[in-house]
Amino acid sequence: MSVNLNSQAGGQKASLQPKKVCPKSVLTFYKPLLLDWANKIYTSSCWKNLPVFKSTANVLQVMFSQLAKITDELYISSATAVTADRLRRSAITLVINCTIEVPLIHVPDVETMKINVDDLPSARIGLYFDRCADRIKMVHDRGGRTLVHCAAGVSRSASICIAYLMKYHRMSLREAYAHMKACRQIIRPNPGFFRQLIDYETRLFGKATVAMVTSPIGFIPDVYREEAKNMVMLTTAPTSTRLR
């Protein structure tokens, strides 16, 4: 069964400024952060001897081709990682596609759900937090597993997974983000999505554990402070230094 939640939800538009974003442009936007993260993984003493990681670029290739396990019932990935074989191997029974630009995958015995949302700070992804979280819980209750993906598995899908962890695993936003980060280190909901997650946490628990703060790259959640410093250094460093 396929469910398509279009850009209209409750009479409200899901994006204030609709605009198609291709996967390549998403990856280009996050490239400085991703390269820095991949280089740290590749040069880390606990990872560098693993044969699967042959280079910094290979780290990204591995990450963008895997289904990352968040909980027993929930996985996250990029769009390129979603294949029939990987879905079968991980016993996925529902795929939630959080993009406008990526078509639904059709696999026998796998349900699909699509929310049409752009990876833009103005996009109203919060409209889908409850309905996606409720659907993931419903699938789990009947013994199934859900994969949530967007284009890169960095922002949109991560936001939906964090909302689920808050609602049904009763994690604070800070705890849910830390758990997601431990499972898939490249997640980074855009600042607009994080602001909506803060509002959602306040609605669920009556208080917020993450605050929006100023930085050289604009308003960001306080959990991004160190990453923001790295992004500024990477985007101002010579190209030969950045692309290792």
User: DSSP class of residue 195?
Assistant: H
SS3 130: helix
Which region holds residue 7: left if phi is over 0, alpha if psi is between -120 and 50, else beta? alpha
Type of residue found at 6: N
Which one of 98, 132, 150, 161 is the catalytic residue? Answer: 150
* Residue 150 annotated to the active site: yes
Largest pairwise CA distance in the chain: 53
Helix, strand, coil shares, percent, the chain, to 5: 45, 15, 40
Whole-angstrom Cα distance, residue 31 to residue 168? 32
- Collapsing DSSP states into helix, strand and coil, what is residue 46? coil
Active site residues: 150
